[in-house]
Structure 1
Amino acid sequence: MDTLTSLRVFCTVAELESFTAAAGRLGLSAAMTSKHVMHLEDRLGIRLLNRTSRHVSLTEAGALYLTQARQMLDGLDEVEAALSNVAVSPRGTLKLSAPVWIASSPIVRMLADYHQRFPDVCLDMDLSGRIVNLVDEGFDLALRATAPDRLDASLIARPLAQIEFCLMGAPAYLARTGHPTKIADLNGHALLLYRGMNASGSLVLAGEDGPETVKFRAVMQSENETLLHLAALEGMGLVFLPVWMVQSDIAAVRLETVLPDAAKFSTTLHAVYPSRKYLSAKVRTFIDFLASQSGLPVKEAKPLVSPA
Structure 2
Amino acid sequence: MNQVYAMRVFCSLVEAKGFSAAAERMATTHSTISRQVQHLEAALGARLVNRNTRKLSLTGAGEQYYQACLDILRRIDAAALAVADEQAQPTGLLRVSAPLSIGTLEIGGWLPPFQARYPGIHIDLCCDDQFIDLVEGRFDVALRISAPLADSSLVARELTLSEQILVAAPAYVMRHGLVRGVEGLAQHRLLAYAPGGAAVAWALARGDGAPLAVDPAGALRADTITALYGAALAGAGIAMLTRATVQADLLAGRLVHVLPQYSGGQRRYYAVYPNAQHLPAKVRVFVEFMREYYAQAAQPA
What TM-score, normalized by structure 1, do the two folds share? 0.61
Any idea what SS the aligned residue of 1:217 has? coil
| 2:225 counterpart of 1:225 | yes
How far off its partner does 1:156 sit? Answer: 0.4
User: After alignment, is 131-140 or 83-92 more displaced?
Assistant: 83-92
Output the CA distance in 1 between the equivalents of 2:248 and 2:289. 25
Q: As a proportion of its length, which structure holds more helix?
A: 2
What letter matches 1:98 in structure 2? A
Q: Who is 2:188 aligned against?
A: 189
Whether 2:132 is the aligned partner of 1:132: answer yes
With over 3 angstroms needed to count, the CA separation of the structure-2 counterparts of 1:292 and 1:250, relative to structure 1, is closer
* 1:42-81 correspondence runs (5 A): 80=80
- How many angstroms does 1:249 deviate by? 3.5
Residue of structure 1 in register with 2:27 after alignment: none
SS at match of 2:283: helix
**1-side partners of 2:83 and 2:181: how far apart?**
62
Quote the offset at 1:189 in angstroms. 3.4
Distance 1:137 1:201, change over 3 A: closer
Q: 1:276 deviation in Å?
A: 4.8
> For the structure 1 residues 155 and 188, does the alpha-carbon distance in structure 2 shift closer, same or farther, using more than 3 Å as the test?
farther
Unaligned runs of 5+ in 2: 1-75
Identity %, equivalent residues: 34
How far residue 108 of structure 1 moved from its aligned partner, in angstroms, is: 3.0
Provide the rounded CA distance (Å) in 2 between the counterparts of 1:267 and 1:88.
Answer: 34
Task: For 1:102, give the aligned amino acid.
Answer: I
Aligned residue-pair number: 223
Q: Which residue of 1 aligns with 2:156?
A: 157
* Conserved 8 A contact 2:194-2:200: no
Give the C-alpha shift of residue 104 in structure 1.
6.4
1-structure distance, mates of 2:153, 2:217:
38
Q: Residues 133 and 179 from structure 1, CA distance in 2 versus in 1: closer, same or farther, beyond 3 angstroms?
A: same
What corresponds to 1:205 in structure 2? 204
SS of 1:283's equivalent in the other structure is helix
TM-score, length basis structure 2:
0.62
Residues 105 and 276 of structure 1: CA distance in aligned 2, closer, same or farther (over 3 Å)? closer
Q: Deviations over 1:107-163 (max 9, x none)?
A: 534322222232221101112322211011111100111122x34512100111112
More displaced 10-residue stretch of structure 1: 196-205 or 223-232: 196-205
Alpha-carbon distance in 1 for matches of 2:188, 2:200: 10
- Asked whether the equivalents of residues 170 and 234 of structure 1 are also in contact (C-alpha less than 8 Å), the reply is yes
2:266 maps to what in 1? Answer: 266
| 2:119 corresponds to | 119
1:145 partner letter: I
Answer yes or no: is the 8 Å Cα contact 1:99–1:144 preserved in 2: yes
**What letter is aligned with 1:169?**
A
What one-letter code is carried by the residue in structure 1 that aligns with 2:125?
M
Partner of 1:38: none
Q: Following TM superposition, by how much is the alpha carbon of 1:185 offset from its aligned partner in structure 2, in angstroms?
A: 1.3
Structure 1 residues 190 and 199, CA, compared in 2 at 3 Å: closer, same or farther? Answer: farther
SS at match of 1:173: helix
RMSD between superposed Cα atoms in Å:
3.4
User: For 1:1-308, what aligned pairs fall within 5 Å after superposition?
Assistant: 80=80, 87-103=87-103, 107-148=107-148, 150-151=149-150, 153-187=152-186, 189-196=188-195, 199-207=198-206, 210-293=210-293, 296-298=296-298
Q: Which amino acid aligns with 2:296?
A: L
CA distance in 2, matches of 1:250, 1:276: 37
Give the drift of 1:204: 2.3
- Distance (Å, rounded) in 1 between the aligned partners of 2:196 and 2:257: 19
Change in Cα spacing, 1:218 to 1:130, as seen in structure 2 (3 Å) is: farther
CA deviation digits over 1:62-94, x for unaligned, max 9?
xxxxxxxxxxxxxx99x9479979945322210
